[in-house]
Amino acid sequence: MKAVLLVGGEGTRLRPLTLNTPKSMVPIANRPFLEHMIEYLKGHGIDDIILTLCYLPDRTRLHFGDGSNFGVKLTYALEDTPLGTAGAVKNVAECLDETFFVFNGDTYTDIDLTAMMEFHHNSGAKVTIALTPVEDPTIYGVVETSAEGRVQRFIEKPHRDAVTTNMINAGAYIIAPEVLSHIPNGLNFSFEHGLFPLLLKRGDPVYGFQSDAYWIDIGTPEKYLMLHHDLLEGRIARVFPGKPAGEGIWLEEDCNIHTQAQLEGTVIIGRNCVIGSMAHIKGPSIIGHNCIIDADSLVDGSVIWQNAQLGQKVSIRNCVIGENVVIGERTQCMEGCVLGSNVVVGSDQILEQGIKVWPDENP
């Protein structure tokens, strides 16, 4: 079965992490986001995947090739200018001659796609939208359905008094190819505000598949960090890279962990890492490949991308550190700091809570 993955966006909400890295290649537990998506789709028999690319496409194509190393067939569709969610799918319409899936490129989920497809066929829908419950629907567009699941209307960011459902669009769709005829050629056009309301107006059958499976939009650094905490704390089932090296500790090959280093909680450490004497890595934390965490440093609840170096007595708490970052000794990164790639921070600095540093800057 075929799927279209919409991974061409610039990931502006996830900046500064995505200024030099396309969102398909943003690491999740030391593997590109797209690797996780491919593994998830394969588990439901989806192995023919079209990737819509626009922003920094070469890095994705170089890593994944034709997909054969990952057990799937990959086709790439490049956009000169962004075409929107529906416009990007219209751009590959000639490849879609049977019912297919579409996925937004910034959601991580365990929705049962096999059950969703069965629901789609049984309902006679032209489009089925995966729906997920949220605590605060007022910041989303909610989807009202009948008792049978047929979509009745979309309400964008309703006031609290007007909330009738907490079900929102989860960014996963099943679409019959004939509905693509309603999408204009070569224009920026969305599913959410363009195609789906049009289909409702026409009276075409659009259904919502409700699921309380794990779902998160990783479009912000805060949600990106939350996903990692959820993964490491067991809220979503995944196989971690490396080999177990104690309760909750996962090490990849060729790591040098000092005997006096302390690893606590659930921690993943990538290959070729060096962890110094009295360094304290407190989970849920992930250390990328080729990192150096020097003596007496503290990493607490954080995600560090590859090739980063933390000097002696550095402290970071609930932070995201991009690739090739260097942090000088005795520097403190307070709660929620996000450092883009190639940032160099001097010694004896204090980075205030929530600060975001763009790539190649030296705060």
Q: Would you name the residues annotated as active-site residues?
A: 157
Element (H, E) at 309: strand 309-310
Residue 29, CB-side half-sphere exposure with 13 Å CA sphere: 27
CA distance 129 to 305: 34
Task: Provide the strand spans (E) within 39-166.
Answer: 48-53, 73-78, 100-104, 107-109, 127-133, 141-145, 151-156
The partner residues of 216 in beta bridges, in order of sequence, read 108
Contact in structure between 336 and 354 (CB atoms under 8 Å): yes
- Count of beta carbons in the 10 Å neighbourhood of residue 129: 29
What would the two tokens of residue 37 be? 């998506």
HEC assignment per residue over 308-359: CEECCCCEEECCEECCCCEECCCCEECCCCEECCCCEECCCCEECCCCEECC
